[in-house]
Amino acid sequence: MDQIDKIITILKRENKNYIEPIVTTISKARSPFKVLISCLLSLRTKDKVTAEASKRLFKLASTPQQMLNISTKDIEKTIYPVGFYKTKSKRIKEICKTLLNNYGGTVPDEIDELLKLKGVGRKTANLVVTLGYGKLGICVDTHVHRISNRLGLIKTKTPEQTEFSLRKKLPKKYWIIYNDLLVAHGQNICTPISPWCSKCKIFKYCKRIGVKKFR
């Protein structure tokens, strides 16, 4: 078993103690549309806020057509206080129009097509592909980017570079679960500032690149 296998095995065991990311929970409803919208809401927003906002919004609308029947103002009120709620309300309406006009109301299952939707970046596109459709992809958020570099698995400067480096380095069997594992680890142990190295179960595999202070 090589280093990556050992790290993944340990994180799988440890992450059972943590609350899973909200977008992962929502994905169990097997609705790519809900994954897409909840991911948009989650950007620059804490998971607890995203969870509550998503729950309120999906009670009102769970399809692109239903979402278009709601006013932008009502969406704003429903998703508040997610970050940039006014901008996100407009984005949601624009995306729903595009889905209906260009894709028959169905969320695309290809990254390149998802990237054509206004406000959708590679992180969101990969999440929809992996969690919404169960297809291979590597979602890179701030936790994945930070921890992958701290471990010394890769050496990159941007999340996009991290995604493509991991596509070469990471065994495909770990692509879909990698984001969930590192997000939970990053929220609870490998925090941005002063990580809990004393509690970290993968400490001996970590090169601690860029870590100046730890607990």
pTM: 0.89
Predicted confidence at residue 19, as pLDDT, reads 85
Under DSSP, the state recorded for 21 is P
Predicted confidence at residue 29, as pLDDT, reads 82
Q: Which residue has the tokens 């590192």?
A: 182
Q: Which residue has the tokens 């959708």?
A: 120
Query: What residues does each domain of the chain span?
Result: 3-19+138-205, 31-133
Of the candidates 102, 115, 101, the residue with the CA atom closest to the CA atom of residue 36: 115
Question: Could you report the per-residue pLDDT of 14-24, keeping only the tens digit for each?
Answer: 999 998 888 88
Predicted confidence at residue 1, as pLDDT, reads 55
Under DSSP, the state recorded for 106 is -
The DSSP-derived string for 43-92 is TTS-HHHHHHHHHHHHHH-SSHHHHHTS-HHHHHHHHTTSTTHHHHHHHH
Question: Could you report the per-residue pLDDT of 60-118, keeping only the tens digit for each?
Answer: 999 999 999 999 999 999 999 999 999 999 999 999 999 999 999 999 999 999 999 99
pLDDT mean over 185-204: 96
Question: Could you report the per-residue pLDDT of 22-71, keeping only the tens digit for each?
Answer: 888 888 888 999 999 999 999 889 989 999 999 999 999 999 999 999 99
Please provide the average confidence, as pLDDT, over all residues in the chain.
95
One of 3.40.50.300, 3.30.70.2740, 1.10.1670.10, 3.40.50.2000 is the CATH number of 3-19+138-205, namely 1.10.1670.10
Which residues form the catalytic set? Answer: 123, 141
**CA dist., res. 197 & res. 199, Å (int):** 5
Amino acid letter, residue 165: S
Name the CATH superfamily housing domain 31-133.
Hypothetical protein; domain 2 (1.10.340.30)
Predicted confidence at residue 65, as pLDDT, reads 97
29 backbone dihedrals φ, ψ, rounded to 5°: -80, -5
